[in-house]
Amino acid sequence: YIFGTYIHGLFHNGGLRRAMLQALAHRKGVTLPPDAGELGIDQEFDKLADWVRSSLDMDLIYQMTGLTRDLEAAGDPR
């Protein structure tokens, strides 16, 4: 596990991430799309939130917490 923790954050460097993807693509003889290697972190979190919502009984959760779907519709995560 030391190796895994040692390289933590390695792929947060956009230039390094892109260079590694280009090297791998070159070895495989494929061309990368222009946005390959870019982190769309906000979009990924939105997709994760959508998946979590679809996997849970949100009506029950709202009922238990005293919240309403009005907050969700307004984009408020509370």
Q: Give the dihedral of Cα atoms 11, 13, 15, 17; nearest 10 deg.
A: 0
The span from the CA of 37 to the CA of 49, in Å, is 22
Quote the pTM value.
0.42
The span from the CA of 63 to the CA of 42, in Å, is 28
- Residue 69: HSE in the Cβ half-sphere, 13 Å Cα cutoff: 5
Predicted pLDDT of residue 34: 78
Domain chopping of the chain, boundaries: 1-38, 40-78
pLDDT tens column, 42-69: 787 888 889 998 999 989 998 999 888 7
Q: What is the separation of C-alpha 48 from the centre of its chain, rounded to a whole number of angstroms?
A: 7
**Token output for 71:** 């907050």
Has residue 35 got a pLDDT over 80? no
